[in-house]
Structures are given as C-alpha cells and as structure tokens.
Amino acid sequence: MKGMSKNKIITAEMMFEQAKTYLSEESLALITKAYNYANEKHEGQFRKSGDPYIIHAIAVGYILATIHGGPKTIAAGLLHDVMEDCDVSRETMVEEFGEEITTLVEAVTKIGNIKFKDEKEYLAANHRKIFIAMAKDVRVILIKLVDRLHNMRTLNFMKPEKQKKIARETLEVYAPIAHRLGMSEIKNELEDLCFLYLEPQKYHEIAHLVEVKKDERAKLVEKMIGEISDMLNKHNFKFRIFGRSKHLYSIHKKMVTKNKRFEEILDLYAIRIITETELNCYEILGYIHAKYHPIPGRLKDYIAMPKMNMYQSLHTTIVADEGNIFEVQIRTEEMDAIAEQGVAAHWRYKEGKKYSVEAEQKEIEEKLAWYRDLTTMTDDVDVSSPEDYMNVLQRDIFEANVYVMSPLGRVIDLPNGSTPLDFAYRIHTEVGHSTIGALVNGYLVPLNTELKTGDVVQIRTSKQSNGPSEDWLKIVKTAHARNKIKSFLQKKENENRAQFIEKGETMLRDELIRRNFDEKVWMDKGKIENVCNQFTVSNYNDLMYAIAVKSVNLQQVIERLTNQKMPTLLDNLSLTKLFQSRPKEVKKVTSNIGVSVEGIDSMMISFAGCCKPVYGDEIVGFISKGQGVKVHRKDCPNIIKEQRLINVYWDESAESKTYEANLLIYANDRNYLISDIVTIVSQCKVRLIGINSYVQNDRITAVIKLTVEVHSLEHLRVLIANVKKLNSITAVERVL
Ligand code: MN
C-alpha cells in the first residue's frame, strides 16, 4: 500500500490493474463478475460520505489485491456487504458464486454483527467470539481487516460518538489481530487512525513535532544511507536501503509506557536494508559492525530466532561518527514481505507467475511446513486433503496462542501448550505459589493439562500448600511462571543455606569444645573471617556452609584458626586407620596427588586418565605393570573386572588440590547459552579448562562438553546443580 494516496477514491480500474499483475484471465473473469454483481446490487446506495456504496467494495477489493489475495478472496471482498445490505439470499449467492465464496461473505457479515459492549469483561468475551468466528478461515480475517481499514479511513463522515466507539473497538480488537498475524502495515495504519479519533489533541501534537524535525532528521539519515551504500557497493551487494519513520501511535505509546519525552524517543534514527539472501544479511551486518561502533546488547537475531508472528530480521544499533545513533534492520525481500504483511504474504506469488489454485495450495503447503517449524509444533497432524491444510494453517495461527477465561470472564492470552499453572501465575504470583488444583470447564484436571482456547479455568489454592517444586518447572510454559517458580525455589534454597550455616557453626563449636579450646575465644567472627581466604571462601557464612557440607576439613579450619597442629586427633576414619598403621610417618604420608595407598609406603601413584577421580569420589587403586598404582573411580568400567586392585584413600592433602572432570551438557539451543554456562562456571568458582560445543542434526539440541577443575565432588555437584537450573538445559552428565 506504500505510496498509495489514502484519501483519494480508489477506482475499479486501479483494482483491475493491480489484480492483472499476478492473476490469470480466468481469475480476472471471476473478479469482473463479482464487481458487476456488487455494482448492480448496491445501485442507489450511498455511504455517509456521499459516495456511491460500491466505492467501499472496490476499495476492499483493491487493498486485497495489493496484498496479492487470491481471486475468491477478492471476489468475496467485493461482495462482502451484498448479503446483508442488499437482501441477497444464501441460495442466490451459492447459485451465482458457489459455496466457498458464499461462506466467506457470510462469515464476514457475522463478525460485523457481533455486538460490543463497553464493559471490559464483556468486550473480552466478544474478543473470543470474534476469534472463533474467524478461525474457520484465514481469508475471512483478511477481508474483515481490510473492510475495517477502509471504514477507518472514511470515519470522518461519522458522528463523533460513533467515531470514538468504532476507533476503540478497532484499537482493542482488530489492531491486535493484525499484529498477531504479523500484518504490521495494516496494524500501524489502523492504530494511527484510532489514535487520531480517540486522542486528537495528542495525535496532532506528535504529528506536529515529527513534521518540525522532519527535514533535519531526513538529512542525517540521507547522509548515513549514502555512506552505507558506498560501502556495500564496494563489496558488490545487491540491496535496497531506506530510512524508516515510526508511526505516530507507537511514538505515543513509548512516551506513555516508558515515560519519555518526544526528543528521547526520536533521538534514534532508523534505517532498513533489504538484500537478496540470508547470508547477505549476516555479511552486511559484519561490514556495518566493522565500520561503525555497535552498541553492546542491541544485536537481535530474529533470523535464527523468529518471533511468534513469523517476523524475521537482524536488528542492531550503531553509533556513527558524529555520535548519532542509528537502529539498523537487515532482512531479505521475503522477510520484509512477511514483516509488513504477515500471514497475507502466504498468498504472494513469485514474480511473473500467474495465479493458479494448485500454486496457491502448494505455496501454503510450503509455508505451512516452514511455519510449523517456527512454532515448534510437535504433535503430528494427518493432512491428507487441501481443506486439512487450511485447517492446520488456521490452527497454527490461532493456537500459537490460547485464550482462556477466568470464571468472571476475564480473558487471558497464553502461549500454546500453557497449563493451569501458567494461568495461575498470570492471575497473581501468590495464586501461583499456593495452587493445589485446577478446574477446567468445571472439571478437576491435573496441573499439567494443556489449556485450549475458550476454556474457563478456576484455580484452587490453599494457604497450607508447600509452594512450587522443581517439577513445576517442567509443567509451565510461560517465562513469567518459570521465573516466579525459580525465584521461589531460590529463596527456599537460601533458607536451607541458612540452616547449613547454623549447622556449620554448631559443628565448629562442638569440635572446639571437644578439643578443649575456649569456644568463647575462638567462635569469633573476626578471627574466623581472617582464615577464610585459606579455604578459598570469601566470608564467615561461606566457611560455615563449607564446613556443614564438608567441602572443607573441620580439623584444618581449627588448626588454621587456633594456629595449632593437632595431628593425632583425626575425624576421618580411614585416615585414622592409615595413621595407626604407621604412626611415625603421619606427616609424610601425604602423596603428591592427595591419595595414599593402604599399607604401602612409597609407590608410584597417579590418577587414571579414563575416569578422572575427584576428591570425594569412591576410589580404588589398580596395580599396573611398571607404572605403579593407578587410581580409578570405583565404578569405572575399565577396572570393574580387574583382579589387581588395592585399597586407596584420599589423604590429608587431597582437599587442597584440584581435580579435572568432564561434563556433557545437553540443551535446546538458544542465544547466549554458552555465555550463560560460562557465567555459572565462574560463579561457582570453578576453573574452566576446556569448552567444546556443537548442535546436533536436529538443529535443536546443543551439546556442550566442559572440562573443569574442581576441589571436590561436592564442588562438582554444586556446579552441576547450578547449570541444570539454567533455562533450556535438558541434561547434565559427568562423563569419562
Ligand atoms: Mn464493509
């Protein structure tokens, strides 16, 4: 619709010219027939503007042709008001135009007759009615949206109250539908028109500010476009580049929601580059980032991770030489068509090709497979007939989201696959935390039940509930619920931690008393904090926690704290046994690797390369030929059948050493996955030795191999537990 004068009358010639660019003779004949029929039936009827009624029907047909609607869609668009306004019966319509077109017209008429009430809840209920009515055929939505668009363009001929009523309904019902379907061009125009009628003063204010700044902005953008074009031409790219302006309503909405002044919102200049291939997009991004300074964290790759409404593009924000900030979008022609027209782009035909029903079907089939990938639909649908294809397409669109209701009629919009728990958390966090059951349409259901559009959901809560558990994370679909559950679990863990700290204190106090130290002297926070760094913990609480979970040795803590070695008092049974057998060599028993061999003084001892034991693992020695004792994990498959085994023990020096371990992490691939993992590793004070990752053939599962250095098994377990908490991680395994 770009470049089209929105206030000029659209003529039948314009519509036919537009349709000729992509439709066959046969298809044009159908449109001509529909046009003549509508013209005849609307004869003598006039719009509020004084125009003949047919002008409206032509406009609807024309706009549908600009988005490359199929011939039946355009015919139905031309005929959309004849059944209601001209008393044409169903039988006559079927006789003239067949069942399919008649059904389309009927459905459009039906939506027009849904009455909207002012109260929010009733409006929401009607919202649902409209979705269900339209869900039967995507083409109905296209026609209805275009019908509404033209009515909004000509709204100035209505009475003011009527203008406001229609504008509000459009803003609350039709613009969101257009958005959901990715039809941003129509959505933006609808929103701006609504804005004009609902808040004329603000509309004109912003329009004025935009106008005043226009030339200055245009100059800056032109200059930048010139620079970028020169650079891209040098590299022989094929591309289009242009500046974009935000639509007025989006500026207004940003000012309100982000509480910013006009200048703050418009200090961003926007440029779009359209090129040939996906690869070109990334290459161009690379050249732009090399020439200009990209603002960190502003790069968004919607090509690899499309939005739910199919939108794909690369976004980045760069600072040019003079300090002006530009937002740059890079995408292919196809991505651009989908970004502007969304679902309507499904009806687009490759240039030069004429329209055919088979081509339309094939196109939908192709797009369908592609669209299904995006929404990661898992359940297989048997699509054996053309009608089924349409049904599945519709299902994809409407069930990318489900609309469910509270018993009071409040409509809640949730992603497909959501459960009563998602619903509960959307109502209120406390409702979520205290959920004990759910009723769907009056029946008690398991909490992992998938909700369907139209379901009425009632949550049962109890103050006695234990709150969320780890299992809930597997049930919920929304990030909102997931985050609330995670922070609840985190809080609970912190409380557990407090208990461990207390336990560590008790252990330390008891041991001091047992060793005849004055606990009043030594249970001193300052003194204890002084020795923390010797145990690689940062403060008193961490040390107490470490004592409780036995990641540090209590005896060593007391020795360092009191500065007295007490070699004869040991709390480790195996060490006691070992020392008893060779009491005089107590201090020398420690080996280089932290492991001692029972009953043998000096023997070459080393870790086996296969299973990489970590302090705390159950271990066993294997007497190798010529290479001394190799220390394996007890469950290492390499030694399970071996006879030449000998008992070995972790000795005193074991906990001051570090050990290598290998982990395999499985995850659903996403942005920042690796960096999130690396962050956790460093937060757990684990040294990272190696990292290696790849994405499996399914293009979903990422496998990351980590080699890390830890102090103990407990330390490794803490790391594993924390990695598992990351979003999209499916499994973490310690491997040989
Ligand atoms: Mn109409």
| pLDDT tens by residue, 296-315 | 777 888 887 777 667 889 99
- What's the token pair of residue 181? 């379907």
Q: How many whole angstroms from 317 Cα to the centroid of ligand 1?
A: 42
Q: How many whole angstroms from 61 Cα to the centroid of ligand 1?
A: 11
Q: How many whole angstroms from 108 Cα to the centroid of ligand 1?
A: 9
Q: How many whole angstroms from 311 Cα to the centroid of ligand 1?
A: 29
Whether the pLDDT of residue 533 is over 50: the answer is yes
Q: What is the pLDDT of residue 730?
A: 86
Q: How many whole angstroms from 147 Cα to the centroid of ligand 1?
A: 5
Residue type, 520: K
CATH number for region 12-209: 1.10.3210.10
Q: What is the pLDDT of residue 373?
A: 31
Are 482 and 473 in contact, with CB atoms under 8 Å apart?
A: yes
Q: Where are the beta strands (DSSP E) in 253-382?
A: 268-275, 293-294, 300-301, 314-319, 325-332
Q: How many whole angstroms from 103 Cα to the centroid of ligand 1?
A: 16
Whether the pLDDT of residue 372 is over 60: the answer is no
Q: What is the pLDDT of residue 605?
A: 82
pLDDT, tens only, 79-91 = 999 988 888 899 9
Sequence-distant (≥ 6) Cβ neighbours of residue 340 within 8 angstroms:
183, 184, 185
Are 105 and 57 in contact, with CB atoms under 8 Å apart?
A: no
In a 3-state reduction of DSSP, which class is residue 240? Answer: strand
Beta partners for residue 622, in sequence order: 630, 645
Cα separation, 680 vs 703, in Å, equals 17
Whether the pLDDT of residue 283 is over 70: the answer is yes
Number of H helices, E strands in the chain: 29, 21
Q: How many whole angstroms from 81 Cα to the centroid of ligand 1?
A: 6
Cα separation, 685 vs 180, in Å, equals 45
Backbone φ, ψ for residue 672 (5° rounding): 65, 10
Q: How many whole angstroms from 358 Cα to the centroid of ligand 1?
A: 30
Q: How many whole angstroms from 437 Cα to the centroid of ligand 1?
A: 47
Element of type H or E holding 369: helix 357-374
- Give the fold, CATH level 3, of 400-467: Ubiquitin-like (UB roll) (3.10.20)
Nearest residue to 172 via CA among 216, 127, 230: 127
Cα separation, 558 vs 556, in Å, equals 5
Angle formed at CA 532 by CA 526 and CA 535, multiple of 5 degrees: 160
Domain map (residue ranges) of the chain? 12-209, 210-345, 400-467, 489-562, 573-655, 658-734
Backbone φ, ψ for residue 82 (5° rounding): -70, -35
CA distances from 382 to 366, 375, 379, 398, 698 (A): 16, 18, 10, 18, 22
| Residue whose tokens read 């003194």 | 527
Indicate the burial class of 53 (C-beta count within 10 angstroms; 0-12, 13-18, 19 or more).
buried
Q: How many whole angstroms from 56 Cα to the centroid of ligand 1?
A: 7
Cα separation, 417 vs 215, in Å, equals 49
pLDDT, tens only, 420-442 = 999 999 889 999 999 988 998 88
Q: How many whole angstroms from 196 Cα to the centroid of ligand 1?
A: 21
First-to-final CA distance of the chain: 62
In a 3-state reduction of DSSP, which class is residue 446? Answer: coil
Question: For the chain, what is the mean pLDDT?
Answer: 79
Element of type H or E holding 358: helix 357-374
Q: What is the pLDDT of residue 57?
A: 95
Identify the CATH homologous superfamily for domain 658-734: ACT domain (3.30.70.260)
Q: What is the pLDDT of residue 394?
A: 45
Whether the pLDDT of residue 381 is over 50: the answer is no
Nearest residue to 591 via CA among 561, 625, 631: 631
Whether the pLDDT of residue 736 is over 80: the answer is no
pTM above 0.85, yes or no: no
Say which range, 475-489, 553-567, 708-722, has the weakest mean pLDDT: 553-567
Q: How many whole angstroms from 80 Cα to the centroid of ligand 1?
A: 6
Whether the pLDDT of residue 147 is over 80: the answer is yes
* Architecture per CATH, 210-345: 2-Layer Sandwich (3.30)
Q: How many whole angstroms from 393 Cα to the centroid of ligand 1?
A: 26
Catalytic residues: 84-85
Whether the pLDDT of residue 179 is over 90: the answer is no
Percent of the chain with pLDDT over 70: 81
